[in-house]
A and B are shown apart, each in its own frame.
Chain A
Amino acid sequence: NAGVTQTPKFQVLKTGQSMTLQCAQDMNHEYMSWYRQDPGMGLRLIHYSVGAGITDQGEVPNGYNVSRSTTEDFPLRLLSAAPSQTSVYFCASCSSADRAYQPQHFGDGTRLSIL
């Protein structure tokens, strides 16, 4: 049982380049989300999805796009990378089946540096 898998683990980009951070989960979770983690700021929500075909913006969506064509995958796209997007990115998922207990399962993160 792999849980939440993020690829790549590390990436260095030049300003203006584009790339896609991959996230896949094998738990059939409806809800998936992307966070970025910056020193002293905790995790901030970028985008989230409550099911295939449905996405919405979080707290810091600018410069990022997402899509949810399948339940398993939730890729995050950087359209034109900027140094301010240097961060550690986490993908998370949880099931909507049990609203009384909503543990979010996190991937190991993608460490992204923009030069």
Chain B
Amino acid sequence: GEDVEQSLFLSVREGDSSVINCTYTDSSSTYLYWYKQEPGAGLQLLTYIFSNMDMKQDQRLTVLLNKKDKHLSLRIADTQTGDSAIYFCAGARSNDYKLSFGAGTTVTVRA
């Protein structure tokens, strides 16, 4: 397993960009994921990135990976009220299905 760390809270104004940061310790992590959890619900996979990639863009979402610093970030463009949720980053090794999760970042979108 590995340690995955995230800041716990982020407040952002509607229409601005949100940036959620994550650091991980295991350089063997091959797959890195971002999950979204809305109140009372399970986890929804938002996007993922492989360790051989530096960036991945998917509509309003941009994932950046800095392997040297073991730093992962998720940028949400034009943040909406529906983006208010807890966001988890998670990592897994290529030979292992087990996910190691960060504590989650609670994103609050204010009008």
Contacts and interface: CB of A to CB of B under 8 A. Distances in A.
Interface residues of B, number: 25
Interface string A75-115: 00000000000000010101010011111111111000000
Interface centre among B41, B44, B45, B97 (most CB of A within 10 A): B97
A104 B48 contact: no
B11 to A, nearest CB: 18
Contacts, number: 55
Interface in B41-59: 41-45, 48, 50
A107 B98 contact: no
A2 interface: no
Interface stretch (B63-71, B74-82, B101-109): B101-109
B24 interface: no
A4 B41 CA distance: 12
Nearest to B103: A42
B42 A42 contact: no
Nearest to A58: B98
A106 B42 contact: yes
Interface stretch (A13-21, A43-51, A65-73): A43-51
A90 B42 CA distance: 7
Contacts of B35: 106
B43 A45 contact: no
A50 B98 CA distance: 10
A42 B48 contact: no
A53 interface: no
B97 A96 contact: yes
12 contacts: A4-B42, A33-B97, A41-B103, A42-B4, A42-B104, A58-B98, A90-B42, A90-B43, A96-B97, A102-B92, A103-B48, A105-B45
